[in-house]
Amino acid sequence: MFLPCIQPNGQVRWLPLIRKVGRVIDRAGLEIRYTPFGYRGFESLTFRTEQRRNVLLSTVAPPVFSANTYIPPMRMRTLLIAFVASLMLVWPATDGFSQVKTPSAGALPRVYDETANPNTLIDEALAKAGREGKNVVCQVGGNWCVWCLRFARFITDDADISTFVNDHFVYAHINYDPSKPAQGEDTQRMLGRLGNPVRFGFPVLVVLAADGTVLHIQDSSYLEEGSSYDKQKVMRFFMNWSREATEGVKD
């Protein structure tokens, strides 16, 4: 089961309920965080319109806590269990909810190499881009991210997009897992090289010139349409950030 949660940047993400109902693990920044002394709520957990799927979630609202509210762990656990139960009851009765399919990363090809050094992947992509006269696109995300895998499949399955990307870019999938409490030196260096792109959510697309200069960081939520991506928006993004477009080079 997946729970829609508001991130600190205002976006809504679908997050899996894992381990215990009373402890929701958010890979991108959940508004309830666990401390050794209990749970503290951020500004609000009131649902907003889910811009990814245009589904109004305000029909089911969890408790609202102020930034300084302290809720004992047992009470918070009880509140969350009650909320999840109410969500399960309302889900089939809500028109918008009935149109939503629970995302599953397991059904999509895993395109991220979780063992590779991210800087090595970037270096290899830049070297190839220099030889071929192209720009580089680094898709930062991971196999844990359904929308990352959806984008990878979307640009692969569409013949027009796939051909354009292959002809004009060197494409690299750069693995990043925000659920890890401590990031290694290689990861920190990668984030610095790419302009700290994870602030835009996942997947995030970073366009590099062949010399490693960051040309653009694209928030992929602007390319979405319903439960997938919009072909026209995606094509426009790639066409605007090809080397031919950024440097005025004729194809």
Query: Is the pLDDT reported for residue 165 higher than 80?
Result: yes
For residue 217, the cross-strand partners are 206
Shared domain for 126 and 215, answered yes or no, is: yes
Query: Is the pLDDT reported for residue 166 higher than 60?
Result: yes
Shared domain for 16 and 62, answered yes or no, is: yes
Q: Nearest Cα to 171, choosing from 125, 203, 209, 211?
A: 125
Q: Nearest Cα to 100, choosing from 232, 228, 215?
A: 228
Q: How many CB atoms lie within 10 A of CB 69?
A: 12
Q: What is the pLDDT of residues 85-129, one digit of tens each?
A: 665 654 444 443 333 344 455 589 999 999 999 999 999 999 999
Sign of CA dihedral 2, 201, 11, 162: negative
Shared domain for 95 and 126, answered yes or no, is: no
pLDDT at 86: 61
pLDDT at 225: 96
SS3 of 228, please? strand
For residue 214, the cross-strand partners are 208
Shared domain for 78 and 113, answered yes or no, is: no
Write down which residue in 69, 99, 129 finishes a domain.
Answer: 99
Q: What is the pLDDT of residues 8-42, one digit of tens each?
A: 555 555 555 443 333 333 334 433 433 333 333 33
Shared domain for 155 and 220, answered yes or no, is: yes
Q: What is the pLDDT of residues 214-223, one digit of tens each?
A: 999 999 999 9
Domain that holds residue 59: 2-99
Amino acid at 80: L
In contact, 168 and 135? CB cutoff 8 Å: yes
Task: Encode burial over 159-168: b for 16+ CB neighbours within 10 A, e otherwise.
Answer: eebeebbeeb
User: Domain count of the chain?
Assistant: 2
Write down which residue in 45, 78, 99 finishes a domain.
Answer: 99
Listed in order, strand segments (DSSP E) in 81-164 are: 135-141
In contact, 68 and 26? CB cutoff 8 Å: no
